[in-house]
């Protein structure tokens, strides 16, 4: 990429940001990201990363577009819902239109312990777009085991939260939350509702953190669990050293990866 190339012109406004610069953009163009779930969180993250110039996106989701998705999920329209298109198929088509140089691989599967290595083994960062803690704990075990950065997030009602997990540098998800919460205190969007603004806002934070990692700016990665409620206008940044439940974590200290076991 040179200052006269079309790609330089396309990304000139973010290249002009000095902490990122041309070397950051070049690193981004080589970057490889796995997005697990392309619903509310994952669809926004995928769009932002494609527009920013990430070189490779692998999208994993087994769902099809539904009319109830459209109020909070990027990339999809009423035609996709009417045709019940696979989300990964509809998303990939739109992403290639945003950035034709981005390689988009769509995988119409549900991530589990049997396929996680094949899906995550060749990427630099994993982004959580899931809607359940069982899959998140599986991702946490795999990423800690393999030393791969991943970005956790969730949204419900008008609330959202996010944390960057850098194995060996930060606590893991199981340091912050020893067990997945039971379903009765882990409400999903059908039961509790969700605002698209909360989803899009926290996905923007996820995308920014992924860009920092891909550009090699690990020192700038967030050391906080970020939480906000757009309805009540509250924002919290809780430092990992305050949140960590134990330095004796079964996952990152004792390296027991129970969520990867049959």
Helix/strand/coil for 95:
helix
How far is the C-alpha of 123 from the C-alpha of 149, rounded, in Å? 10
β-pair type (224-229, 32-36): unpaired
Helix/strand/coil for 3:
coil
Q: Which of 117, 165, 155 is nearest to 39 (CA)?
A: 155
How far is the C-alpha of 94 from the C-alpha of 69, rounded, in Å? 16
CA angle 130, 234, 41 (to 5 degrees): 20
* Cα-Cα end-to-end distance for the chain: 46
Which entry of 102, 143, 175, 189 is annotated as an active-site residue?
189
The answer to whether 172 is a known catalytic residue is: no
Active site residues: 189
């Amino acid at each position: 990429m040179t200052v006269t190339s079309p790609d330089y012109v396309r990304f000139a406004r973010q290249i002009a940001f000095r902490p990122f610069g041309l070397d950051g953009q070049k690193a981004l163009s080589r970057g490889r990201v796995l997005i697990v779930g392309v619903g509310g969180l994952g669809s926004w993250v995928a769009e932002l990363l494609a527009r920013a110039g990430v070189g490779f996106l692998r999208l994993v989701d087994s769902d099809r577009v539904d009319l109830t998705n459209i109020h909070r999920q990027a990339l999809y329209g009423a035609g996709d819902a009417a045709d019940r298109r696979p989300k990964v198929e509809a998303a990939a088509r739109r992403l290639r239109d945003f950035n034709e140089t981005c390689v988009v691989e769509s995988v119409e599967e549900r991530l589990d312990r049997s396929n996680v290595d094949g899906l995550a083994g060749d990427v630099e960062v994993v982004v959580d777009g899931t809607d359940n803690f069982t899959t998140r704990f599986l991702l946490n075990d795999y990423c800690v085991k393999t030393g791969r950065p991943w970005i956790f997030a969730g949204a419900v009602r008008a609330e959202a939260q996010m944390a960057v997990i850098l194995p060996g540098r930060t606590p893991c998800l199981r340091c912050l939350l020893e067990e997945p919460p039971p379903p009765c205190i882990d409400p999903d969007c059908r039961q509790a509702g969700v605002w698209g603004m909360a989803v899009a806002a926290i996905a923007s934070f996820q995308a920014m953190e992924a860009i920092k990692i891909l550009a090699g700016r690990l020192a700038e990665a967030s050391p906080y669990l970020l939480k906000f409620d757009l309805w009540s206008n509250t924002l919290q940044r809780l430092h990992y050293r305050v949140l960590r439940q134990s330095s004796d974590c079964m996952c990152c200290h004792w390296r027991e990866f129970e969520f990867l076991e049959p």
